[in-house]
Amino acid sequence: MFTVIHANNIEDLIDIVIEIIHSNPIEPLETETFIIQSHCMGQWLRLAIADKKSIAASLEFKLPLSFICNLYNIVLGNDNIYEYSHFDYSSLIWILFKLIPKIIFLPEFKLLYEYIQQDKTVLNKELFDIKIYEQSKLYFVCKKIAYIFNKYLLYRYDWINAWSEKKNILKLDFNQQWQPKLLQELLKNINIKNSAFLHKNYCKIVTKLKTRPIGLPSRLFVFGISTLPAKIIEALYAVSHIINVFVFVNNPCKYYWEDVINKKYIKDNNPLLMNWGKQGCNFIKILNEFEYKNTYKLEYHIFRDKIFSKNSLLLHQLQQDILDLNNPYYILKNGCKRILNENDKSIRFICTYSTLIEVEILRDQLLEKFEIDHNLKPNDIIVLAPDINDYTAFINAVFGSININDPTYIPYGIIDKKNSIYNPILICLLELIKLPIIRLELNELLNWLYIPEFRRRFEIKKESIKKIKYLLKSNGVRWGINSEHRYIIGLPALNNNTLRFGIDKIILNYAINNKFITDSFNIDLFEFDAKLIGNLIKLIQNLEHYLHVIYKPANYLEWEQRIKNIYKNFFLKQNNEYELINEAINTLSNSCEIANFDENITFYIVHDVISKNLDEKICKFFYGKVNFATFLPMRNIPFRYTYLLGMNEGNFPRPYFTLSIDIMKKYTRNDDLSSIIDDSYLLLEVLLSTRDCLTISWVKKSNNNYKYNNPSVLINELRNIINIGWTLNKSQTKNVSPIDILTIEHIKQFYKTSFEARQEYKKVKNFYKFTEIPFISKINPPIKLGLNELEKFLYEPFKIYFKYRIKINFKNNINIYDTEPFILDNIQLYNIKNILINNFYKGYSLNYTIYKLKKSGQLPFLGFSDTYFYNILEKFKFQINIWKKYIENKKKEQKFLRFSISINKYNVCFEQILKNLYEDYKGNINYYSIEPYNYIYNNQIFRLFRGYLIQLALSIATKRPGNVILIFENCTLVLPTCKHKIAKIQLINLIYLWYKAWKLPIPTNPHMAFDLFFICEYISENKIIKINKILSKKYKKFKNIQKNFFIKEIWPDFKSLLNNGFIFYSKKIYNNIFDYIKSIIKY
C-alpha cells in the first residue's frame, strides 16, 4: 500500500507515525525503517518519538540512495548490486581514471585530449615532473565526469538507457557528443549488460513478487524529505504492493499551489510561496503526476492554523498567510492592513560591523532568552549559517572561552564543521601528505610545533618553541626543507635559507663555538640544550626522509601504509584522529578494490581523496546543547528559537555554478536540483519550522574594505513584504516603518555603548580604584635606568605605563620572514647597517662582515647582494672616512656614569657605560657615532634623541664641555655642549618624568609635540582654539597614532588629548630638546 500524507506541521506527522506504529505493531524482532534526508533528522526523529512514547527502540534510519541500493540488492541479488556499486561516485572516478588513457586517442575524445594536454607547454620540463601534472589533471577531469554521470544516473536514467543502446534521443552539440561514447566504453570495460543500471529490471521483477523478500522491511516511512527524484518514487511505488509505504510530505500550503509557482495568478498569491517554494512545489508536482499515472491507495491532508487569537505574533501571521495563500499586498488594497505590535519580537533583524561582534551579540541574546524564559532548553535553539565553517573559529572564541563552571556558560555543539579545516592534527597530516609542493615556511613549522601530539613526538616542550623560533630565525631559515625540496617545487636547487641550511649552521656553530660567529648572529648557542637541538635535527631528518617517500607514486595499498607511517612518525598518540584517518584510508581502498584499480597515483591525488573522505562524516544532532549548523542537515526540524548568521548578499543564496559539460542545464526537469532554488526553499522551511522567534543577522560593514554590504536578496524580500503588509499604531513614532522597529543596527549602537561605558567608568571610579590597586600596587618601578629606557620614553611616552607597569607588549620583537631576502625592507636594512657599524667598531674588516652576512642567509644570494649593496656600501665607506678623520690622533676613552635619586621612597639608580669617546689634545672628551640612516631637518628630530641623552650623560660624567658628533649618511651634525649643572638637572627631570609615565599614560608624543612648537612660533599660546583646529586635522594622520591603536582607545580625538594635558607634558618633556637642536651645527 502506497500512502501519501500532507501536513504543514511536522509534529502532526510524528503523531501519525506514532499512531500507525501503535495501532499496527510489527513483529517483535523487526525494525521500523525510515527514509530521511539527513542523519540529523533521524536523530531528532528518534528523540521526538522517545519524548512522546518514553521509548524509541528498533528504529532504523537510512538515506534515500542507501536504501534504494539495498532495495536493488534484495530484489535482484548480490551479483547485480556489486555491478551497480561500480557507478558509485568514488568508484566511478577510478574506473574512468583507468579507462580514459586507453581511449583518449580516439577521434570522439579529441576534446578531452586537448583539455588534458593544454598548458603542458608552459611548464619547465627540467624543473617539474610532467607525469605528475598530467595525472593530476586527468584525475580532476575524471572527478567532473563521474559527478555528471552520477547525476545522470539519478535524474536522467532514461538517457543512460538510450545511450547504452546507442540511441540518440538528444540533439547534442559537437563538444558534448563524446559523453554517450564514453558511457558505452565504460559499460564495455566493466561488463555490465543491464544498461539502465538495474532500474528497469528491478521494476519488472518487483511487480511480479507475491511475498516479501527476506531483508525487506514490512513497513517503510519516507519522512520529512523536501524533494526526491522521480526514479526513487517509482522504485518505492513498485514495491508498495508487498510492503506498506508511507510518504509524509511537509506541505506549506493547504491549497493547490502549482499555479502560484508558474505565476499564473500573481494577484491573489503569497509572494514568499511564489518566489521561495519552487523546489517543494516541484516535489509535490512529481507526486501528483505519479498519482495521475498510478492511483494511490490513500492520500490524507492534515493542516493546522497558526493563528488562534487577534494578538498573534508576526511570525505566526506570516506562516498563516503562506498556509492560506494570502497576499499581504492584496489585503492592503482592501484596507485591511494589519497593525504590528511594537513589542513583537518574533522576528528580528540585526546588522553588525564584524563577524566576531555578530557572534558576541548572539551569545548576549541567548543569555537574555534564558534569563526571561526559564522553560527554555539549549536544544530548543538552532543557529544556522550558509557555511558554518566560516563561523567555527568565532563560535569557539566566544562560546568556548567561557569556563564550564561559569553561570553564563552556554553548552553548544557545531554539527557539520570540516575536519580538514579545523582539526589541527588532520590539517598537519594533510600538509605532510602534500609535503613536496608546499613551501613549508618557518611560521608553518612553528604552528605544527604548537600541536601537542606533534611536539611530544619529538620530545619538544611548549616553552622551547620560542627558543626554536629564535634559533632558526637567527640562522637565516625562511622556507623549504632543503635544495631538493625547492627543485621539486620547480625552483632552482638553492640551499640558502632552508631548514637544512639553518640546521647545518647550528651544528657547525655548536661544534666550533667561535666567538665572532655567535656575536654576529646575535645568539649564544650554549644557552640551548643539546637535547633540544638534537630533537630539532630529528624532526628535520624526518621531513627530508618523507619528502623522498611521498614524492614517489605508488598504488593505494602502499599509500595506505605510507599514511599510517607518517602519522606514527610525526604524532605521539593513536587517538580519535587516527581512527578518522583509518576510515578515510579504508574508503579509498574500498573504492579502488571495487574499480579493480591498482595503478600508481601521486601524492597530489591522494591528498585530495583523503581530504574529501575526512569531511564526509555523519552529522550528529547535539541533545542538551545549542546547535550550530549549516542549513542542509537541519532542514524541516522545528525549533522554538532560530538564529540565522551571515545572511549577506553573495553568501545566501549560495552562488550556483554548473559544469560546462553538464547537459542537464539545457534539458531541465521538475526534479532537478539548483542551489539557488534549494536555498530559497531552505529559508522558507526555516521560516515555517520556527515556533517562537526568528532572528536574522548579517555583517553590514566589511572587515576588509569598510564598505557597506547588503543583506541577502531573500532577506530583503521578506523585509519588503513585512513593510507592505503591516503598519504601526498612530501613537507610535511617525516616519518609521515596521521594518525599522524590527531592525537593530549594532554599528551605531556599538559606539553608543562604548561612550556610555566611558561615562560609567567615571561614575564608579572609586570602585575601580578598590579593585585595581591591590594588583597594581604590588608592581614596583624599576630601580635601574639607563639611556635605552630614557630613549624609548622620548620616542613613545605612553608606552612606559603599558610595558613596565601592566606588562603589555604590543609588538613581537622577532620578525619571521617567509621568503628569501631578494629586497631588504627598512627593518632588515637597519639591522644590517647596525651589524656593519658594530663589527667595524670591533675591528673586523668590511669584506669579512659582508661574507659572514651572506653565509648567515640575511643577504640576497647569487651575486644579487653585490649589486644591491653597492650604494649602501659607498655611503658607509664615506661615513667611515669622516669618522677616521675625526678620531685621528685622539685617544680612545670609556666612561661609566652612575648616580642615584629618591623618588617617592624609591631609590632609582641611573647607570650607563659611555663608549666611542675620544680625548683631544686639549683634554676635551668628544663622542663620535656612525648612524645607520639619513637625517632630514625638522622631520626627523627624534633621530637626535640618543645624541641628546649622550650629551647630557657626557657632560655629567666628564664635568667638562664635550661635543657629540653624529655622522649620518647625508650629513654630519655637531651637537652643542651643555654645562654640567644644566645637564644633570635636565637628566634628573627626564627620570622624574619617566617615573610619572610609569604611574599613568602621558598624553603626548614627539611628532605632535614638535608640531605644537612650530605652530606656537606663529600663533600665540593663548589661542588654544587655533591650535586645536590645526592639530585635530593631523591627529589621525600621524603614523605614530595609526600604528598604536591603544592611543585612540585612551584619547579618541585630539580634543581629549588636549584636555588631559597635552601642551603641559609636551613642554615638560620636549621643550629643552627643541631649544637644544636650534644650535646644532650641520656639515
Q: What's the rounded mean pLDDT across residues 835-848? A: 86
pLDDT grade, residue 1017 (50/70/90)?
Answer: low
pLDDT greater than 90 at residue 645: yes
In a domain, 646, yes or no: no
Q: What is the CATH number of the domain that holds 593?
A: 1.10.486.10
- When comparing pLDDT for 822 and 1039, which is higher? 822
Mean pLDDT of the chain: 82
Query: Is residue 395 pLDDT above 90, yes or no?
Result: yes
Say if residue 64 is in the same domain as residue 91.
Answer: no
Taking 80 as the threshold, does the pLDDT of residue 248 lie above it?
yes
- Within-domain flag for 808: no
In the structure, how many helices (H) and strands (E) does the chain have?
Answer: 49, 22
Distances (CA, A) of 590 to 233, 256, 616: 29, 47, 15
Q: What is the pLDDT of residues 179-198, one digit of tens each?
A: 999 988 888 876 554 435 57
100 and 136 inside one domain: yes
Task: Name the DSSP letter for residue 525.
Answer: G
Assess contact for 437 and 489: CB atoms under 8 A: yes
CA distance 787 to 767: 38
- If asked whether residues 437 and 518 sit together in one domain, one would say yes
Domain that holds residue 951: 826-982
How confident is the model at residue 137, as a pLDDT? 87
Q: 302, 322, 356 — which closes off a domain? A: 302
Measured in whole angstroms, the distance separating CA 769 from the mean position of its chain's CA atoms is 40
**Model confidence band, residue 293 (pLDDT cutoffs 50, 70, 90):** confident
- Cα(404)–Cα(675) distance, rounded to whole angstroms? 39
* CB-CB contact of 809 with 819 (8 Å): no
Q: Helix or strand or coil: residue 821?
A: coil
The predicted model gives 274-287 an average pLDDT of 89
CA dihedral 686, 690, 693, 697 (to 10 degrees): -10
Q: Which helix (H) or strand (E) holds 872?
A: helix 870-887
pLDDT at 516 over 50: no
Indicate the pLDDT class of residue 863, thresholds 50, 70 and 90. Answer: low
Average pLDDT over residues 1069-1076: 85
Higher pLDDT, 290 or 1048: 290
Q: What is the pLDDT of residues 84-100, one digit of tens each?
A: 456 678 888 999 999 99
Q: Based on the domain organization, do 481 and 602 belong to the same domain?
A: yes
- Averaged pLDDT for residues 905-915: 81
Boundary-marking domain end, from 561, 593, 615 = 615
The reply to whether omega before 653 is within 30° of 0 (cis) is yes
Do 911 and 956 belong to one domain?
yes
DSSP letter assigned to residue 733: P
872 plus 924 within the same structural domain: yes
Q: Is the pLDDT of residue 288 over 70?
A: yes
Confidence of residue 747 (pLDDT cuts 50, 70, 90): low
Query: What is the pLDDT, as a whole number, of residue 711?
Result: 94
- 227 in the same domain as 116: no
Report helix, strand or coil for 667: coil
Diameter over CA atoms, the chain: 125
Higher pLDDT, 47 or 1032: 47
Nearest alpha-carbon partner for 430 in 592, 615, 619, 620: 615
**Average pLDDT of the segment spanning 216-239:** 91
For residues 164-186, give the mean pLDDT.
86
669 contacts: CB under 8 Å, gap ≥ 6:
155
Res. 816 pLDDT band, cuts 50 70 90: low
**How confident is the model over 996-1004, as a mean pLDDT?**
85
Burial of 67 from C-beta contacts in 10 A (0-12 / 13-18 / 19+): buried
pLDDT of residue 266: 61
Residue 169 CB partners (closer than 8 Å, separation 6+): 158, 159, 162
Asked whether residue 515 is domain-assigned, the answer is: yes
Domain-embedded: residue 134: yes
Instruction: State whether 897 and 1040 are in the same domain.
Output: no
Q: Are 204 and 167 in contact (CB under 8 A)?
A: no
pLDDT for residue 909: 84
Residue 548 falls inside a structural domain: yes
Residue 901 has pLDDT above 70, yes or no: yes
Rounded CA-CA distance 1080/1083 in Å is: 10
Model pLDDT for residues 98-136, shown as the tens digit of each residue: 999 888 888 888 888 888 777 554 333 443 455 677 788
Is the same domain home to 93 and 68?
A: no
CATH number at residue 172: 1.10.10.160
Residue 731 reports pLDDT greater than 70: no
More confident residue, 461 or 269: 461
Is the per-residue pLDDT at 724 higher than 80?
yes
Q: Which three cell numbers stand for residue 562?
A: 605510507
The confidence score (pLDDT) of residue 195 equals 38
DSSP string computed for 211-227: SPPTT--SEEEEES-S-
Q: State residue 1020's pLDDT score.
A: 58
Could you tell me the pLDDT band of residue 522, with boundaries at 50, 70 and 90?
very low
Say which residue, 308 or 1069, is predicted with more confidence. Answer: 1069
Please state the domain count of the chain.
5
Residue scoring higher pLDDT (267 or 74): 74
Other CB atoms within 10 Å distance of the CB of residue 63? 16
Burial environment of residue 548 by CB neighbours within 10 A (0 to 12, 13 to 18, 19 or more): exposed
The better pLDDT of the pair 267, 935 is held by 935
Highest mean pLDDT among 180-194, 262-276, 376-390: 376-390
Range with the lowest mean pLDDT among 559-563, 815-819, 967-971? Answer: 815-819
Q: Is the pLDDT of residue 815 over 70?
A: no
Cell numbers standing for residue 321: 498567510
Task: Based on the fold, state whether residues 471 and 573 are members of the same structural domain.
Answer: yes
pLDDT category of residue 529 using cuts at 50, 70 and 90? confident
Residues 429 and 526 in one domain: yes
CB 1071 within 8 A of CB 1063: no
* pTM of the predicted model as reported, rounded to 2 decimal places: 0.78
The SS3 call for residue 360 is helix
pLDDT at position 475: 84
**Cβ-contact 680, 275 below 8 angstroms:** yes
Please state, for a pLDDT cut of 70, what percent of the chain lies above it. 84
Residue 609 lies in a domain: yes
pLDDT at residue 81 in the model: 52
| Cell 609636551 belongs to residue | 1066
Q: Which of 136, 158, 191 is the last residue of a domain?
A: 191
Residue 348 lies in a domain: no
pLDDT tens sequence across 318-372:
999 999 988 887 776 556 678 888 889 899 999 998 899 999 999 999 999 999 9
Residue 926: strand pairing partners: 918
Mean pLDDT on 588-597: 90
1-34 pLDDT per residue, tens: 899 999 999 999 999 999 999 999 888 889 999 9
At 246, which CATH number? Answer: 3.40.50.10930
Which of 572, 710, 559 is closest to 648 using CA atoms?
A: 710
**pLDDT category of residue 413 using cuts at 50, 70 and 90:** very high
Count of alpha carbons within 13 angstroms of residue 962, beta-carbon side? 31
pLDDT band at 554 (very low <50, low <70, confident <90, very high): very high
State mean pLDDT over 463-490.
89
In a domain, 861, yes or no: yes
Which residues have CB under 8 Å from 837's CB, separation 6+? 930, 932
User: Per-residue pLDDT for 780 more than 90?
Assistant: no
Tell me, what's the pLDDT at 745?
A: 83
pLDDT at 617 over 90: no
pLDDT for position 1054: 76
pLDDT band at residue 818 using 50, 70 and 90 as cut-offs: low
The residue type found at 415 is I
Q: Is the pLDDT of residue 574 over 80?
A: no
Half-sphere exposure of 86 (CA within 13 A, CB side): 23
| pLDDT recorded at residue 518 | 39
Q: Are residues 147 and 8 in the same domain?
A: no
User: Residue 1049: what pLDDT?
Assistant: 66
Cβ-based burial of 976 (10 A; exposed 0-12, middle 13-18, buried ≥19): middle
